[in-house]
Structure 1
Amino acid sequence: MGKGGSSKDTYNIAHQKGTPGAGGNRGDRLIKEMIHDPYKTRSKLPEPTVCPECQALFQQGRWAWAEVPPNANQELCPACQRIRDRAPAGFLMLSGAFFQEHREEIINLIRNKEKSEKAQHPLKRIMDIEEQEGETVVTFTEIHLPRGVGEALNRAYEGELDYQYTDETSILRVRWHR
């Protein structure tokens, strides 16, 4: 270390309240606290644990479809909790003349994508499909499935695809229009 002292001293001086840091920025800024998914399990569940609603099994640190042992603990999985609370993690909004003309075919593609994903990942589910204010809204139990479905729609039919993720609420909104 040079004559100016240890690297710790330099760090402390550069980040004291009111002292500009690198680039002239103050070192005392407030850092926004991340709010994480309230439906994510806070502590590790005892293994094995089965969801009494869907029969998914929590084993080896993840939810999966497997044979349920007779001594399994019981607790709702995050997907079933979201369904019970009507609290979607993801939304897919579908609109446009092309969508209206091919609605049944597009809904079938969405259901097939969900079926494929859910076979490997029990928490990836469609909650509901409903009409709202001139568009069809599909709600999901987690945030990755609406993105995957949106990308599948775009590959199959093109159109306009837009993503909006809110850090504060951990919700993904995907809009597809054609």
Structure 2
Amino acid sequence: MREKVDEIILHLNSIQDLFILPQPDPFVETVRFVPAIEIVKSRCQLSGLWRKMRTRVIIFLPAQHIEADLERKTQAAVQRYCAFQIWRNNNSVSMLKQDALRALIIGILFLAGGLFLLSNVNALPTFLGTFLSDGFNVAFWVILWRPVDFFLFDLSAFWREGRVYKQIMRAEFVIRPEEQHGVHADTALPGTS
């Protein structure tokens, strides 16, 4: 069985457009509002990380911008960029995890203190006892919402983003002159294949 390859085709004016956004002009038909690497990232997210698929990014550049060894230099630049994004992602996870654990500890302490106080609520009038009991329940869930939200939802988004950057690091980058296909960089739709 042949390995599937997801091809992403980019038409750029220079290789720097892969990481740097040229001045966007909404009146130009081929305007890009993000650096081209973000188009690669979004396509990798859409291609599905669960399928074993190779990614090939084909970059068309004007012939005068193609230099010797540009594919290797581009691959190395992509490796550095993705390594930094993975580091930044892991750093964000670590900070958010600390915040979530701190909120969890505060929530558990609040629960213990609240249960201790509510064990004596029978001595209070019914209205006041119900008010304190219901108020405690609401406050407890509000305090615990952040750690629960982080561990159930936010953490998986960070893991998914890290996998996308690893997929981009494994991608093959091919650079071709724009004239080969008869399409000029100024008239090609960026990020389309």
Under a length normalisation based on structure 1, what TM-score does the superposition of the two structures give? 0.22
Higher Rg of the two aligned structures = 2
Higher helix proportion (structure 1 or 2): 2
